[in-house]
Amino acid sequence: MTASLAIQDHIAIITINNPPVNGLGHATRTAISEHLRAAENNSDVIAIVLTGTGKVFSGGADIKEFGTDKTYAEPSLPSLLVQMDVCNKPIIAALNGVCMGGGLELALACHYRVATSAIQIALPEVKLGLLPGAGGTQRLPRLVDMKTCLDMICSGRSYYSDQLVETKLFDAFVPTTTQLLQTAIDFADKVASVRPILRVRDLIANQTITPETFATARANLQKKSKHLPAPFACVDALEASVKLDFDLGIQTERQLFQQLLQSPESRALRHIFMAERAAGKIADIDASTPLRAINSVAIIGAGTMGTGIAMNFANAGLPVRLLDLQEASLTRGLARIREQYQAAVNKGKLTQNECEQRCNLIVGVHSYDDITEVDLVVEAVFEDLAVKKNVFEQLDQTMKPGAILASNTSTLDLNEIAMVTKRPQDVIGLHFFSPANIMELLEVVRTKYTATDVLVTCFSLAKKIKKTAIIAGVCDGFIGNRMLEQYTKQAAFLLEEGCTPQQVDHAIEAFGFAMGPFRMNDLAGNDISWAIRKRRIAANPNAIYSKLGDRLCEMGRFGQKTQAGWYDYQANDRTAYSSDIVNQMIRSHAQDLGVSQRQISDEEIVQRLVLALANEGRKILRDGIAARASDIDLVYLKGYGFPIHRGGPMYFAESLGWEKVDQLLQQFQRGHRGQTWIL
Ligand code: NAD
């Protein structure tokens, strides 16, 4: 039974018991409904306490039933809440732990709430492109001030019960769970005879609003979530709670919920949610594989990546040794780490104490002898195969047996790197993205030799350092950078055919990318991609690519750092100004190639860029480099700023239909540089 009923001192106690999160699936709703009816009909019972087992009151919808008919089967959550509203005996929620989504809506439909401290309270539906659809937007503002409601519902952020202790959400508060049930029973006894029963729906929604409250909330969202309808619908529903009576407010909430449920944005966000759940699964690996203990880490190379990677581990409380052969690089690296932590302190994101603790966890060293005993080494030296091979030879000679030897290479052949050691089974790719202490993505690259326990340990470690780990096989660029190559290639071809950098950037930014390819390259440094291109062309002289990027670099236009790239820049100003010199260079380059330039629509720009990604993604899947299409989406969403409301490049292609995609690809193949579209 997913919920049990017990009677103690005339109080019925209904306990939700549906591990792991007491999800409100159909069976649980049915059980609660039946127990409520039994308690109501039992003349011995004077009041009802509703609680949960373990550390969760209820985490809301049952993920296993997500998207199935069972989600809406009667008793649906809204009808269960109506049953609670009209119950002729008071219902007291005893909030023993996490109370989220439908779980919080269930608690809100109780007549009173008793809570313990430090429990998580949230209405996270907006993260799935939805809004709380079972009265949450109407009941919460009857107990909690509107500012908090707007923040909580429009962001989906979790609050701790202690932060809400001043609100009317809780009628009694106990410091520890051990006292909770008895306090709730005593409370139930005290209020059992209060009539009329105090229903949240009968309260007046919170009035701490000004005429600007909702307009300001919408204006703020316009900056943060302009492509997502759900946060705006949350504001509409909350506004209804103060402007309409409860039943009309509920109707409004229901209509908005239905609209959101059908919206492409919510479908995309739900796809991402499922993708995240699938990402950690590796088909041929037994989940019970024992892990290697990782209690200490060393990073080789104190450059841009090495320092960011070191911070990840220090943030998780792990001691880090940062090794660089150049004294100056090490000093600079350690100073950069301190600067970044100090900046977090200045922004109020970290205490000074935490800053000191984390800085102290990262110790600079110069010799391999100082790192022999660590459990994991992450190499982040120059992207040069000979240099990296040399580092791995040294690691092989010095590291203790069983240490995991990881490389942060972006493009190099990890099989080859593994083979310079006598322990290739311990070698793996851990490809962080820049800035490494911020970007959520981690490509975990499995070589031909990587041992399964090494792989599983790295996945577990990724969780500890709060990264989304995606498994990838060895190839040039793994998943993300291999696709990026096709994207940037198409972007340059678009210039040859008649676009300006700003037209391409503008079209893809309107699609939802935070930055188009040319602004992005100017930020990252055009010289970096130039160097990679040179290496690739040397390896494959017949490769088809646009030489525009090379021309740009030959002009010394490396991007923001030289105040000149695809755009012009001014001192201390990151604004990208259209560059006559570059636009002229593009035109004359096209003339030299004999390409007649034409007007290109924004739709074609977006399709060519996004389908360049999806087409390569499909090849990556065929080559077995990625485990599933949704992993490829996550790589792009978490590592490359693909707009979340579009669900990822593979999802975009699947939504268009691969048949349509293939038609478009055929069409593109007939154009300039069509040979690059080979399927
Ligand atoms: P970087 O030039 O900023 O830093 C490299 C550091 O390694 C320097 O401090 C250098 O002194 C040190 N170093 C060089 N050889 C060494 C050796 N033999 N032993 C010890 N230290 C040595 O480079 P980066 O941007 O941090 O890139 C490092 C690695 O990370 C590369 O493989 C790169 O492809 C990869 N990567 C970079 C990015 C990025 O955006 N920068 C993103 C993902 C991966």
The domain that contains 238 carries what CATH number? Answer: 3.90.226.10
Cβ burial, residue 112 (10 Å; 0-12/13-18/19+) = buried
Q: What are phi and psi of 56, to 5 degrees?
A: -130, 130
Q: How far apart are CA 110 and CA 93, in angstroms?
A: 6
What one-character DSSP code corresponds to residue 176? S
| Residue 545 pLDDT level (bands cut at 50, 70, 90) | confident
Residue 618 counted as domain residue: yes
Residue 661's pLDDT is: 96
CA-based nearest residue to 310, from 292, 291, 329: 329
Q: Is 394 in the pocket of ligand 1 (CB under 6 A)?
A: no
Q: How far apart are CA 308 and CA 434, in angstroms?
A: 8
Say if CB 218 and CB 126 are below 8 A apart: no
Return the residue whose CA atom lies nearest to atom 28 of ligand 1: 380
Residue 278 counted as domain residue: no
- Nearest ligand 1 atom to alpha carbon 407: 32
Residue 520's pLDDT is: 93
Residue 677 counted as domain residue: no
Say if CB 553 and CB 540 are below 8 A apart: no
* Torsion sign (Cα): 279, 634, 158, 459: positive
Residue 70's pLDDT is: 84
Model confidence at 14: pLDDT above 80? yes
Residue 1's pLDDT is: 81
- Nearest ligand 1 atom to alpha carbon 381: 7
Model confidence at 207: pLDDT above 80? no
Pocket test for ligand 1, best of 311, 312, 382 (most atoms within 8 A of CB): 382
CA-based nearest residue to 597, from 511, 518, 503, 489: 503
Instruction: Find the mean pLDDT for residues 258-275.
Output: 95
Regarding whether 317 and 190 lie in a shared domain, the answer is no
Regarding whether 246 and 127 lie in a shared domain, the answer is yes
Instruction: Find the mean pLDDT for residues 6-34.
Output: 96
For the chain, first and last CA: distance in Å?
A: 53
Q: Which two tokens stand for residue 143?
A: 């107990």
599-639 per-position pLDDT tens digit: 999 999 999 999 999 999 999 999 999 999 999 999 999 99
Say if CB 665 and CB 677 are below 8 A apart: yes
The tally of CA atoms less than 13 A away on the side-chain side of residue 115 is 28
Residue 253 counted as domain residue: yes
DSSP string, 314-370: HHTT--EEEE-S-HHHHHHHHHHHHHHHHHHHHTTSS-HHHHHHHHHHEEEE--GGG
Return the residue whose CA atom lies nearest to atom 43 of ligand 1: 433
Q: Is 387 in the pocket of ligand 1 (CB under 6 A)?
A: yes
Q: How far apart are CA 482 and CA 430, in angstroms?
A: 16
Q: Is 300 in the pocket of ligand 1 (CB under 6 A)?
A: yes
Reduced 3-state DSSP string for 60-96: CCCHHHCCCHHHCCCCCHHHHHHHHHCCCCCEEEEEC
Q: Is 260 in the pocket of ligand 1 (CB under 6 A)?
A: no
Regarding whether 557 and 413 lie in a shared domain, the answer is no
Regarding whether 148 and 30 lie in a shared domain, the answer is yes
21-70 per-position pLDDT tens digit: 999 999 999 999 999 999 999 999 999 999 999 999 999 988 778 778 88
CA of 323 relative to ligand 1 center, distance in Å:
12
Model confidence at 448: pLDDT above 80? yes
Model confidence at 212: pLDDT above 80? yes
At residue 515, the 3 state secondary structure works out as coil
Lowest pLDDT segment from 440-454, 526-540, 656-670: 526-540
Model confidence at 465: pLDDT above 70? yes
Regarding whether 340 and 390 lie in a shared domain, the answer is yes
Regarding whether 495 and 456 lie in a shared domain, the answer is no
Q: How far apart are CA 419 and CA 290, in angstroms?
A: 25
Model confidence at 206: pLDDT above 80? no
Pocket test for ligand 1, best of 332, 369, 385, 410 (most atoms within 8 A of CB): 410
Residue that is written with structure tokens 């970007």 in the block? 439
Residue 490 counted as domain residue: yes
Instruction: Find the mean pLDDT for residues 557-569.
Output: 95
Model confidence at 582: pLDDT above 90? yes
Model confidence at 344: pLDDT above 70? yes
Biggest CA-to-CA distance, the chain? 93
For the annotated catalytic residues, the residue numbers are 105, 125
Regarding whether 515 and 435 lie in a shared domain, the answer is no
Regarding whether 485 and 441 lie in a shared domain, the answer is no
Residue 51 counted as domain residue: yes
Q: Is 134 in the pocket of ligand 1 (CB under 6 A)?
A: no
Q: Which two tokens stand for residue 232?
A: 């705006």
Q: Is 410 in the pocket of ligand 1 (CB under 6 A)?
A: yes
Q: Is 326 in the pocket of ligand 1 (CB under 6 A)?
A: yes
CA of 379 relative to ligand 1 center, distance in Å:
8
CA of 627 relative to ligand 1 center, distance in Å:
28
**Which of 472, 488, 519 lies at the terminal end of a domain, its last residue?**
472
Q: How far apart are CA 482 and CA 378, in angstroms?
A: 22
Regarding whether 350 and 315 lie in a shared domain, the answer is yes
| Residue 678 pLDDT level (bands cut at 50, 70, 90) | low
Model confidence at 208: pLDDT above 90? no
Average per-residue pLDDT in the chain? 95
Return the residue whose CA atom lies nearest to atom 29 of ligand 1: 380
Return the residue whose CA atom lies nearest to atom 9 of ligand 1: 303
CA of 383 relative to ligand 1 center, distance in Å:
6
Which CATH number goes with the domain that contains 429? 3.40.50.720
Regarding whether 465 and 528 lie in a shared domain, the answer is no
Q: How far apart are CA 616 and CA 626, in angstroms?
A: 11
- Nearest ligand 1 atom to alpha carbon 391: 18
| Residue 222 pLDDT level (bands cut at 50, 70, 90) | very high
Total number of domains constituting the chain: 3
Q: Domain limits at 598? A: 480-669
Which CATH number goes with the domain that contains 655? 1.10.1040.50
- Nearest ligand 1 atom to alpha carbon 383: 32
Lowest pLDDT segment from 195-209, 341-355, 377-391, 436-450: 195-209
* Torsion sign (Cα): 335, 336, 339, 341: negative
Say if CB 209 and CB 239 are below 8 A apart: no
Say if CB 516 and CB 649 are below 8 A apart: no
Regarding whether 12 and 109 lie in a shared domain, the answer is yes
Model confidence at 463: pLDDT above 70? yes
CA-based nearest residue to 27, from 19, 18, 36, 14: 18
Higher local confidence (pLDDT), 215 or 668: 215
Residue 677's pLDDT is: 67
Return the residue whose CA atom lies nearest to atom 14 of ligand 1: 381
CA of 305 relative to ligand 1 center, distance in Å:
6
Prior bond to 435 cis, omega within 30? yes
Residue 525 counted as domain residue: yes
CA-based nearest residue to 106, from 120, 118, 94: 94
Q: Is 477 in the pocket of ligand 1 (CB under 6 A)?
A: no
Residues with Cβ within 8 Å of 624's Cβ and at least 6 positions away in sequence, in order, are: 473
Residue 443's pLDDT is: 98
CA of 300 relative to ligand 1 center, distance in Å:
8
Residue 466's pLDDT is: 97
Return the residue whose CA atom lies nearest to atom 10 of ligand 1: 301
One-letter amino acid for residue 273 of the chain:
F
CA of 420 relative to ligand 1 center, distance in Å:
19
**Which of 214, 247, 262 lies at the terminal end of a domain, its last residue?**
262
Residue 596's pLDDT is: 86
Q: Is 301 in the pocket of ligand 1 (CB under 6 A)?
A: yes
Regarding whether 418 and 484 lie in a shared domain, the answer is no
Return the residue whose CA atom lies nearest to atom 31 of ligand 1: 383
Letter string b/e over residues 413-430, b meaning 16 or more CB atoms within 10 A of that residue's CB: ebbebbbbbebbebbbbb
At residue 431, the 3 state secondary structure works out as strand
Residue 453's pLDDT is: 96
Q: Is 391 in the pocket of ligand 1 (CB under 6 A)?
A: yes
Residue 285 counted as domain residue: no
Q: Is 306 in the pocket of ligand 1 (CB under 6 A)?
A: yes
Model confidence at 679: pLDDT above 60? no
